[in-house]
């Protein structure tokens, strides 16, 4: 996204699991077709937390996060994944965009971003449509889980499909 000649990155973490995206639990049934069956595991099948970013110059490979995320882990993700992507793709003239999740707005995160001289594009509360990655995650989730009624039998298969879908997405 270009805003006043600046490059803007969007980043989002999303949890996915082998039985389907937790954010998209609706099922639409075409009455002219046979209904599909979906099964859930009794003990779960694992999950992945994915962090990804994109700009008008390209997209970052997905970073898979472990455990519950907090400000120090978010800063570590920014340092290990976003900063190299931003340097390679955006150079110096870019703005960073993330939502208002507590780990994104914590003092530790704000201090880190200030220390790195990163300009953050502020979003009003409760405004997911203003963050383009929200729409990208919706498209990605549909392609990963719903276009083929897909369930996954391993975390590895889920990660492989997420990567394939992520790099097959084309700009509108």
Q: Which tens digit of pLDDT belongs to each residue from 69-108?
A: 899 999 999 999 888 888 777 666 778 888 888 998 999 9
User: Taking a C-beta distance cutoff of 8 angstroms, is the pair 22, 49 a contact?
Assistant: no
| CATH number assigned to the domain covering 2-12+41-168 | 3.30.420.10
User: Taking a C-beta distance cutoff of 8 angstroms, is the pair 1, 56 a contact?
Assistant: yes
Is the pTM here over 0.75, yes or no?
A: no
Listed by start position, the domains of the chain span: 2-12+41-168
Nearest to 131 by CA among 96, 170, 98: 98
Q: Which tens digit of pLDDT belongs to each residue from 121-163?
A: 887 777 766 778 778 888 888 888 877 667 778 888 888 888 8
């Amino acid at each position: 996204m270009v805003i006043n000649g600046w490059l803007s990155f969007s980043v989002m973490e999303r949890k996915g699991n082998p039985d389907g995206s937790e954010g998209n639990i609706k099922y639409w049934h075409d009455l002219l077709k046979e209904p599909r069956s979906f099964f859930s595991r009794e003990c779960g099948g694992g999950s992945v937390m994915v962090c990804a970013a994109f700009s008008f110059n390209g997209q970052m490979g997905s970073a898979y996060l472990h455990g519950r995320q907090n400000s120090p882990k978010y800063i570590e993700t920014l340092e290990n994944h976003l900063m190299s992507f931003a340097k390679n793709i955006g150079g110096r003239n870019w703005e960073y965009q993330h939502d208002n999740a507590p780990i994104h707005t914590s003092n530790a995160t704000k201090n880190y971003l200030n220390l790195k001289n990163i300009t953050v594009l502020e979003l009003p509360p409760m405004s997911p449509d203003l963050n383009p990655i929200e729409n990208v995650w919706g498209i990605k989730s549909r392609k990963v889980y719903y276009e083929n009624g897909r369930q996954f039998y391993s975390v590895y298969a889920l990660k492989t499909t997420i990567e394939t879908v992520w790099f097959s997405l084309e700009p509108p």
